[in-house]
Amino acid sequence: MTSIIERTFSIVDKKPLFIPFIAAGDPSLKATVSIAKALQESGADMIELGVPYSDPLADGPTIQKASLRALKNGITLDDILETSVHMRMAGVTIPIILFTYYNPVLQYGIRRLFERFESSGIDGIIIPDLPIEENEEVKTWADHTGKPLISLIAPNSSERIERIASQADGFIYCVSSLGVTGERKKLHPQIHSFLQEVKQHARVPVAVGFGISSPEQVAELAPHSDGIIVGSAIVRIIEKNEETLLDPETRHLALAEIKTFVKHLYSGVL
């Protein structure tokens, strides 16, 4: 059965799809719901909903700080799943993908988590620190529930690209550069050939993320990818507007700034 994530790539009449990342609970869970709705209104085709974690190995300073802000609020995985419900109630209809490290999944319970996905409106999951060699139990439950485990491939994965691509579901998340997340002025010099190699082996769409923050980068990657993932650049705007977002009376001002940024980011391809 084809997942809603894969179907979205086939039915949306634009390329590449826009897939923003936000940290759940930054700066509050109510603000997260409003931000998700604003991103959808700005043209987001899916949303990565990040689970705050105290030791985020792949995250750069901007997202690390976002996680810490959320953790100070005592955010739990149950809170985030409930927030996804509120996102649906607020009118968010695009796929929601949970982005989490493996430890919270293990602590929560793999079966329990996947069984909660249906009632909470989660459509898939990304676990960046779970290698393909150790993902059998998670992959089994992902297949059983139809909520894809989305695979990551990095530029230094050349010997494993075919193997990872052969079992990928939803889409393949191509990491645009080595290291952690964060805005970068320049893309990896071999990014085009890397994406081309992944596409040769892929049976699902290919999206690219990590460090994408400018209209020029989006325009450069658009012909080579099915989706563009943007995280730190959006999270930085959220950080800048923390107090504005926390106040329901002023929240609309920060949401307008986020919408303006997204429109600017995609100005070269829309």
Distances (CA, A) of 37 to 45, 46, 84, 122, 184: 11, 11, 11, 15, 27
pLDDT digits (tens, 9 = 90+) for 129-161: 999 999 999 999 999 999 999 999 988 777 789
Over the chain, what is the mean pLDDT? 91
Each domain of the chain, given as residue ranges in start order, spans 15-145+213-265
State phi, psi for 153 to the nearest 5 degrees. Answer: -130, 130
Q: How confident is the model at residue 182 (pLDDT cuts 50, 70, 90)?
A: very low
Other Cβ atoms closer than 10 A to 143: 15
Which CATH fold topology does 15-145+213-265 show?
TIM Barrel (3.20.20)
Short-list 169, 170, 187, CA closest to 178: 187
The tens digit of pLDDT for each residue in 47-90 reads 999 999 877 565 678 888 898 898 888 999 999 999 999 999 99
Task: Supply the residues annotated as catalytic.
Answer: 48, 59
For residue 242, name the pLDDT band (cuts at 50, 70, 90): very high
Single pTM value for the model: 0.94
Q: What is the mean predicted confidence (pLDDT) over 155-179? A: 85
